[in-house]
């Protein structure tokens, strides 16, 4: 008789015993998430044309500076969030209210850079699409450039080691800096 293992996962969503079924599920879920992310970036690029164009132009004007600003920004946000989480951990460990609200502040310092990166993502992926279109002769429409740039960037970010530690941080850094530029340069016309 087989032992029943209860978990929070639904038996309909996640196969319980077949390892091959779990691998197929993870691959299918990854593909669905990637397709949804490409759709989200394309949607944001179409709906938020001004901010997306400002972010793309900021990256096109100074890509290395945007990369460095974004990486420094992520390091600072991560350091502040880690400090706030550690103070919240100390509060729980000592069972006192030393400094209330540090856990909430840590969550805020975790979410803010991710939201800024999401805002700057259409610009970063649009820039990558522009560079790819330039290799193809430049005869690719704006929508196709965004989709192509997003898809190829995500596939490159999935490449083991180089993608994880070079491509993904570069894309996140550029997106963070582009998102910040988009917010702080509101009045500047796109282009």
Q: Of all residues in the chain, what percent carry a pLDDT higher than 90?
A: 53
**Is this prediction's pTM over 0.75?**
yes
Q: Where are the alpha helices (DSSP H) in the chain?
A: 19-47, 49-61, 63-94, 102-135, 142-158, 162, 168-184
Q: Is 191 inside a domain boundary?
A: no
Q: First-to-last CA distance in the chain?
A: 68
Does residue 46 sit within a domain?
yes
Condensed to tens digits (0 to 9), the pLDDT of residues 123-151 reads: 999 999 999 888 877 777 778 888 999 99
Please state the rounded mean pLDDT for residues 37-63: 93
- Is residue 62 one of the residues assigned to a domain? yes
Q: Is residue 125 part of a domain?
A: yes
| pLDDT tens digits, one per residue of 80-116 | 888 887 776 666 666 666 566 777 778 889 999 999 9
Asked whether residue 5 is domain-assigned, the answer is no
- The total number of structural domains in the chain stands at 1
For 129-148, give the DSSP string.
Answer: HHHHHHHTTS---HHHHHHH
Q: Is residue 3 part of a domain?
A: no
In a domain, 35, yes or no: yes
Q: Show the domain range for 148.
A: 19-184
Average pLDDT across the chain, whole number: 84
In-domain check, residue 10: no
**pLDDT for residue 81:** 87
């Amino acid at each position: 008789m087989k032992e029943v293992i209860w978990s929070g996962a639904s038996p309909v969503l996640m196969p319980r015993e077949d390892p091959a079924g779990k691998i197929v599920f993870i691959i299918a879920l990854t593909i669905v998430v990637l397709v949804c992310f490409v759709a989200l970036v394309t949607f944001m690029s179409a709906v938020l044309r001004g901010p997306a164009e400002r972010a793309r132009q900021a990256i096109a004007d100074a890509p290395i500076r945007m990369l460095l600003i974004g990486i420094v920004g992520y390091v600072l946000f991560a350091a502040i969030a880690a400090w706030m989480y550690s103070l919240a951990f100390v509060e729980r460990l000592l069972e006192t209210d030393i400094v209330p609200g540090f856990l909430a502040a840590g969550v805020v310092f975790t979410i803010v850079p991710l939201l800024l990166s999401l805002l700057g993502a259409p610009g970063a992926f649009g820039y990558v699409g522009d560079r790819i279109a330039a290799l193809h002769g430049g005869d690719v429409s704006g929508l196709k450039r965004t989709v192509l740039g997003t898809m190829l960037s995500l596939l490159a970010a999935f490449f083991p080691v180089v993608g994880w530690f070079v491509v993904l941080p570069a894309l996140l850094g550029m997106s963070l800096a582009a998102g910040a530029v988009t917010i702080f340069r509101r009045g500047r016309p796109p282009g």
